[in-house]
Structure 1
Amino acid sequence: MDPRSEVLLRQAQLFAGPLLLAGLPSDDLLGHLPNARSWSWHAGDHGLLESRFAGRNHFGVTPAPVAAPAAVLFLPKSRDLTEYLLSALAAQLAGGDLFLVGEKRAGIERAAKQMAAFGKPRKLDSARHCQLWQVRVDNVPPAPDLEALAQYYSLQLADGPLTVVSLPGVFSHGRLDVGSQLLLQHLDGLQPGHMLDFGCGAGVLGSALKRRYPDSRISMLDVDAFAVASSRLTLAHNNLEAEVICGDGIDAAPLGLSTILSNPPFHQGVHTHYQASENLLRQAARHLDANGQLRLVANSFLKYPPLIEQHLGACTILDEAKGFRIYDARKK
């Protein structure tokens, strides 16, 4: 059981009635709270919850109507995303209770101050290195317009400017990260055909691919619903077309790919998490066609070449800068 869920269950009497759990982990909490429903934006967590508690789960960037007098938000990593989620929930909880639970090291006390816009927050519990806060929603905010919260920035690429639309909570929100910047310099010599941007985030790499290889079919995949929404906005803003998929890792990708391009994730929340990236390296060959190609950027301290060579083929380092490396390999 996730420690944040354990903290809720220490106050189980507060959560016996109808309740919405937002951003909850994929543990057994719904089994302990039979009147609760979930709202997730992580495709992996949603899939696991739906497999165990079918019909009690909602997925997407906006909440389903809150048919409950209370909601709990599990603190996400991003402060901007926290503000959006708190407002989206509070907008449907007039006179109801909004709870916030999270780890101390994730900044729960700072985040609790964001609840003051709706009423007077109070701390209910502190245990398992986590805290639980509550506010009665007396000041009901308007439902937030997610797209209005987007940040825009422009990239000057060889084939013209590209505008990136970044929503709260998306990796490297509002700016180009160092890894993607390096990988953008190495888009030549890729195998055209059906190309995948794995871990697409705000859609930087996938959009650049479509511009560089306009006759290729481009798919973009991310586990996070806010990233998928951002990628769709970036494509639309630049008059580009691509398939955008929300799914849990490389298993959700199409087969028969000519190229997989990736700045793969290795963080989930405040924790370092390599599983999605390592699964990509282990399973890439299954999704690539004959002579298919994998090109990715990764922190240079990560020992990816042996894994690539074991499961795909000979690995070449194309470039190295600012603590990152570009790896390239073709299917055996």
Structure 2
Amino acid sequence: MDPRSEVLLRQAELFTGRVLLAGLPADDLLGELPDSLGWSWHAGEQATLAARFPGRSHFGTCPPLEVFTAAVLFLPKSRELTEYLLQALAARLPGAPLYLVGEKRAGVERAAKQLAAYGQPRKLDSARHCQLWQISVEQAPAAPDLESLAQRYELQLSDGPLKVVTLPGVFSHGRLDLGTALLLDHLDDLPAGSLLDFGCGAGVIGAVLKRRYPHSTVNMLDVDAFALASSRLTLAANGLDAQLIAGDGIHAAPKDLAAIISNPPFHQGVHTDYQASETLLREATRHLINAGELRLVANSFLKYPPLIEQHLGPCQTLAEGQGFRIYRAKRR
């Protein structure tokens, strides 16, 4: 059981009835609170919850339409995302309780101050290196318009400007990260056929691929609903189309890909986690056609070339700079 869930269950009498658990972990909490509902924006956790508790967890960027009488927000990493989620929940709970639970090291005490916009925060419990806070929603806000919270910027590329739209909580919100900037300079000569932007984030790589290779099918995969929503907005802003896929890792990708291009993720919440990236390197060959190509950017200190060569083929370093390297390998 996740320690945040354990803290909730120490106060289980507060969570009887129709309680919405927002951002809940994929543990047995829905089983312990049988009248509760889940809301997840993590495709992997949603898949687990849907399999164990059919019909009780909603996936997306907005709260489910079902009526709930209280809500618990499991603290996300991003302050901007926390602000959106609290407003979205408070808008549905006039006069009702809203709870916040999170790890101390994730900044739950700081985040509890964001609750003050809707009521008087009070700490209910502190255990398992986590804290539980509560307010009664005294002044319910209007439901937030997620798209109005987007940040927009424009990239000046060799084939013209590209508009980028990022939503709260999405990687590199409001700016182009250094790794992706380096990768954008090394997307020439990809093989013809279906392409995959793995860990698409705000959709920068996928949009560039579709514009540069208009006759290729471009697939854009991410675990996060807010990232997929951002990618959809970026594509629309540039008049482009691609296939958006919600999935937790490379196993959710199509087969018979001509190339996989990625600035792979290495964070899960506040924790560093290389599992998705390492699984990509191990399993890429299962998704690539013969002579299909993997091209990715990674921090220079990560020892990816041995993994690439073990599971895919000879690894070439195309470029290096700003603490990143571009690797290329073809399926043997």
> Would the TM-score normalized by the shorter structure come out above 0.5?
yes
Q: Aligned residue for 2:217?
A: 217
* Deviation at residue 280 of structure 1 after TM alignment: 0.7
Letter in 2 for 1:102: G
Q: Aligned residue for 1:101?
A: 101
> Within the alignment, does 1:79 sit opposite 2:79 as a pair?
yes
* Deviation at residue 192 of structure 1 after TM alignment: 2.2
* Deviation at residue 174 of structure 1 after TM alignment: 0.5
Q: How many residues are paired up?
A: 332
Normalising by structure 1, report the TM-score. Answer: 0.99
SS in 1 for 2:80: helix
2:102 and 2:219 map into 1 onto residues whose CA distance is: 34
Q: Aligned residue for 1:30?
A: 30
SS in 2 for 1:152: strand
> Within the alignment, does 1:204 sit opposite 2:178 as a pair?
no
SS in 1 for 2:226: helix
Q: Aligned residue for 1:7?
A: 7
2:271 and 2:223 map into 1 onto residues whose CA distance is: 16
Letter in 1 for 2:156: Q
1:194 and 1:250 map into 2 onto residues whose CA distance is: 15
Q: Aligned residue for 2:157?
A: 157
Equivalent residues of 1:119, 1:136 under 8 A apart:
yes
Equivalent residues of 1:65, 1:92 under 8 A apart:
no
* Deviation at residue 68 of structure 1 after TM alignment: 2.0
Letter in 2 for 1:6: E
> Within the alignment, does 1:44 sit opposite 2:81 as a pair?
no
Runs of 4+ in 1 over 6 A off after TM superposition: none
Matches within 5 A, 1:103-182: 103-182=103-182
Equivalent residues of 1:66, 1:93 under 8 A apart:
no
1:28 and 1:300 map into 2 onto residues whose CA distance is: 39
Letter in 1 for 2:179: G
1:205-255 per-position Cα deviation (integer Å, ceiling 9, x unaligned): 000111111111111100100000000100000011111111111111111
Letter in 2 for 1:81: L
1:298 and 1:30 map into 2 onto residues whose CA distance is: 37
2:97 and 2:69 map into 1 onto residues whose CA distance is: 7
2:68 and 2:295 map into 1 onto residues whose CA distance is: 47
> Within the alignment, does 1:313 sit opposite 2:306 as a pair?
no
* Deviation at residue 77 of structure 1 after TM alignment: 0.2
1:290 and 1:66 map into 2 onto residues whose CA distance is: 48
* Deviation at residue 322 of structure 1 after TM alignment: 1.4
Q: Aligned residue for 1:195?
A: 195
SS in 2 for 1:171: coil
Q: What are structure 1's unaligned runs of at least 5 residues? A: none
* Deviation at residue 110 of structure 1 after TM alignment: 1.1
1:38-77 per-position Cα deviation (integer Å, ceiling 9, x unaligned): 0000000000111111111101000112522110000000
Q: Aligned residue for 1:246?
A: 246
SS in 2 for 1:27: coil
Q: Aligned residue for 2:284?
A: 284
SS in 1 for 2:181: helix
2:133 and 2:293 map into 1 onto residues whose CA distance is: 49
1:95-135 per-position Cα deviation (integer Å, ceiling 9, x unaligned): 11000000111111111111111111111111111110001
Q: Aligned residue for 1:53?
A: 53
Q: Aligned residue for 1:297?
A: 297
1:71 and 1:153 map into 2 onto residues whose CA distance is: 34
1:172-220 per-position Cα deviation (integer Å, ceiling 9, x unaligned): 1000011101101101121121111000000000001111111111111
1:284 and 1:164 map into 2 onto residues whose CA distance is: 28
* Deviation at residue 141 of structure 1 after TM alignment: 0.3
SS in 2 for 1:284: helix
Letter in 2 for 1:200: C
In 2 relative to 1, CA 229–184 (structure 1 residues): closer, same or farther, beyond 3 Å?
same
